[in-house]
Structure 1
Amino acid sequence: MKIIDLGLIGYKDAEALQLETLDGVLNGDRDNTLFLLEHPKVITLGRQGGAENLHLNPEQLEAHGIELVQTTRGGNITCHFPGQLVAYPIWRVEKRPGGMRKFFDDMEQAVMDTCAHFGVATIRRPKHPGVWVDETRKICSMGIGVRHWVTYHGLALNVASDTSLFNAITLCGIQGAVPTSISAEAGRDIPMEDVKHVFTRAFAKAFADSAVAADQAAE
């Protein structure tokens, strides 16, 4: 498993890297890869739509420097911004026990373990993918794409206290859902680098289904 920190990178540039890596994993030329990054302000629409849950018109989006992108991931509308950890696993799922359901469960578990490290208790909500603090407060959104049993896209974990960009949308198209973050729940500013480090270990542990992942989880 390769873990690559891309830092702050535009959505379309990251998508191009995902697709290039996806082709490599499909062809057997590349290992499973986890990209860690942050995006400039962008609102994304999933395969299930989401435009009806956008509260700004094109002129307002441009005035606020917010990009709008149609994606190939599952799910509805969400947004990304500096201070949010985005993780894109380019991952071959076909030989993993449990298939796609286990893949999603393991992603959620990595996030839940990360939040727990910083003293934030979280839950799963049936029929609502992602990670929640309670029935209304969502701390992490998830949506993936799959091509020939290799995944791309992934998850977005709110780290910084400022989640105001979510005011521009109905979060994931779920009425009553509100965003929260690790820093907001912990009551203190949590550095992004600390969260990346903890998440990397939690992800390696959750996905320890190969010698490489197991070795990384034990480091």
Structure 2
Amino acid sequence: MTSHAPLRRMDLIRGGLVPYAEALAWQRRLVAARSAGEVPDTLLLLEHPPTITLGVRADPAHVLLSAEQLAGRGLALVASDRGGDVTYHAPGQLVGYPVLKLSHHGADLGRYVRTLEEVIIRTLADYGLVGERVAGLTGVWVHGGTAKICALGVRLSASGVTSHGFALNVAPDLAGFAQIVPCGISDRAVTSLEALLGTAPALVDVEQRVLAHFCALFGVTCEPRDTPS
């Protein structure tokens, strides 16, 4: 008889609508706690209010509005410590932040990012959509790589714990992406499940599908817990 290793436990935090700066503070506390062995791996699933974030390699010129215009539109601008360039968050976008010890999941950052992409590709397949990778770029694309539906940007701490993650466009206001050069790429579009399907699936349904594929691909079982204090 073949024996199977038990699934690794992972905490699941459903945060709802959380300001980006607050979620960033949550991640930093979780990274410290995971590094110290005080908590298990954790997956945060949430949404953000309208926010533009700058990754560690971001070109400020890729934000197309002045500080005054951003303030007038109620847009937060936050410098993040994730990888990548400029991106946009808004309600209707499912954001996932896995905080996990990479050595327990293959110890290969590139493979980890590809696995996150595969979670989204399988989720899109559930809706009859073909998600694709584009050589040299990060994220998940559709229409032959001409439109991005999911952005990815991650960070690995000195202790080998991941943070940040993916942002899947379910039904955000896509006009918000016109305020930036998304991920520094000017010649490709941004799309959403709503735009592709003609109607928006319920965010909770998308969340459940993402969670199922995440658990299967990472070999974990997710146990709900309260939001970080």
User: Structure 1-normalised TM-score?
Assistant: 0.93
Deviation at 1:187, TM superposition (A): 1.8
Please tell me whether the aligned partners of residues 161 and 180 of structure 1 are also in contact (alpha carbons under 8 angstroms). Answer: no
Partner of 2:32: 23
Q: Secondary structure at the match of 1:128?
A: coil
Deviation at 1:103, TM superposition (A): 0.6
The question of 1:64 aligning with 2:73 is answered: yes
Q: Secondary structure at the match of 2:138?
A: strand
The question of 1:185 aligning with 2:196 is answered: yes
Identity of aligned residues (%): 36
User: Structure 2-normalised TM-score?
Assistant: 0.89
Q: Which segments of structure 1 move beyond 6 Å, counting only runs of 4 or more?
A: none
Partner of 2:155: 145
Partner of 1:197: 208
CA RMSD of the aligned region, Å?
A: 1.2
Cα distance in 2 for partners of 1:40, 1:189 equals 18
The question of 1:41 aligning with 2:84 is answered: no
Which sits farther off after the overlay, 92-101 or 66-75? 92-101
Question: Which of structures 1 and 2 has the larger relative contact order (alpha carbons within 8 angstroms, sep 6+)?
Answer: 2
1:176 pairs, out of 187, 206, 211, with 187
Deviation at 1:96, TM superposition (A): 2.6
Cα distance in 2 for partners of 1:129, 1:12 equals 23
The question of 1:156 aligning with 2:156 is answered: no
Please tell me whether the aligned partners of residues 47 and 74 of structure 1 are also in contact (alpha carbons under 8 angstroms). Answer: yes
Cα distance in 2 for partners of 1:96, 1:35 equals 17
Deviation at 1:188, TM superposition (A): 1.5
Q: Secondary structure at the match of 2:77?
A: strand
Cα distance in 2 for partners of 1:139, 1:50 equals 21
The question of 1:14 aligning with 2:50 is answered: no
Q: Which amino acid aligns with 1:122?
A: G
2:119 pairs, out of 96, 110, 125, with 110
Q: Which amino acid aligns with 2:148?
A: K
Q: Secondary structure at the match of 1:40?
A: coil
Deviation at 1:23, TM superposition (A): 0.7
Q: Secondary structure at the match of 2:112?
A: helix
> Unaligned stretches of 5+ in structure 1?
none
> Unaligned stretches of 5+ in structure 2?
1-9, 223-229
Task: Give the number of aligned pairs.
Answer: 211
Please tell me whether the aligned partners of residues 91 and 172 of structure 2 are also in contact (alpha carbons under 8 angstroms). Answer: no
Cα distance in 2 for partners of 1:121, 1:135 equals 10
